[in-house]
Amino acid sequence: MSRLILATRNPGKITELRAILADAGLQHDLVGADAYPEIPDVKETGVTFAENALLKAHALARATGLPAVADDSGLCVDVLGGAPGIFSARWSGTHGDDRANLALLLAQLGDIADGHRAAHFACAAALALPDGTERVVEGRLRGTLRHEPAGSHGFGYDPILQPDGETRTCAELTPDEKNAISHRGKAFRELVPVVKELLG
């Protein structure tokens, strides 16, 4: 069984990709970055989700000599020209402060009417091999931004994005419901034929 490393310390992401690979009949031994604690986290200096995903995947592949998968994702708001985009996790100035990020974005959109609140979650997933071979795929979850947060599941901007065709926000969906339609789930599923092509 060949080993595949996912550039994350988030056990939820590892479980999700493991399940997607298993559903596709792929028997790779998937581990997270915690399996290699000596390798430092990679600075995300790219200007697109794809660039950041590739930076992380290549760094891990070089450091471990193993094929590596990485993803980068965020919220893209149409009326803001695609922002916060790659800055989603630090939109308020502090990385990972979900509450502050959400509050700032809602304030910026305060006078924007319902018909102009379209947005989508985007995720780029990259596979990099130690020899430099690379592939990137993308997944999106389109929806509309609510004026007030709703729901207690999920994280980040989940409480304000209502997916198209839904009456609930991402944070009101069950984890299984969200995984079935999520941008990351879509990107990881798009990665399956790439893994089959490059790793067998």
Q: What is the pLDDT of residues 108-117, one digit of tens each?
A: 999 999 999 9
State mean pLDDT over 25-41.
Answer: 91
Question: What residue ranges define each of the domains in the chain, with the CATH number in brackets?
Answer: 3-199 (3.90.950.10)
For residue 121, give the 3-state DSSP assignment: strand
State mean pLDDT over 164-189.
Answer: 94
User: What burial letters (b/e) apply to 19-45, b meaning 16+ CB within 10 Å?
Assistant: ebbeeeebebebbbbeeeeeeeebebe
Tell me if 183 is assigned to a ligand binding site.
yes
Counting residues of the chain whose pLDDT is more than 90, the rounded percentage is 80
Which of the following is catalytic: 72, 98, 111, 176? 72
pTM of the model: 0.93
CA atoms of 113 and 39, how far apart (whole Å): 46
**Mean pLDDT of the residues in the chain:** 94
Tell me if 73 is assigned to a ligand binding site.
yes
Tell me if 78 is assigned to a ligand binding site.
no
Name the DSSP letter for residue 65: S
pLDDT for res 11: 86
Tell me if 13 is assigned to a ligand binding site.
yes
Please indicate whether residue 72 is annotated as part of the active site.
Answer: yes
Least confident range of 127-131, 142-146, 175-179 = 175-179
- Within 10 angstroms of residue 164's Cβ, the number of other Cβ atoms is 11
Taking each continuous run of H as one helix and of E as one strand, the counts in the chain are 5, 6
- Local confidence band at 27 (pLDDT 50, 70, 90 cut-offs): confident
- Local confidence band at 164 (pLDDT 50, 70, 90 cut-offs): very high
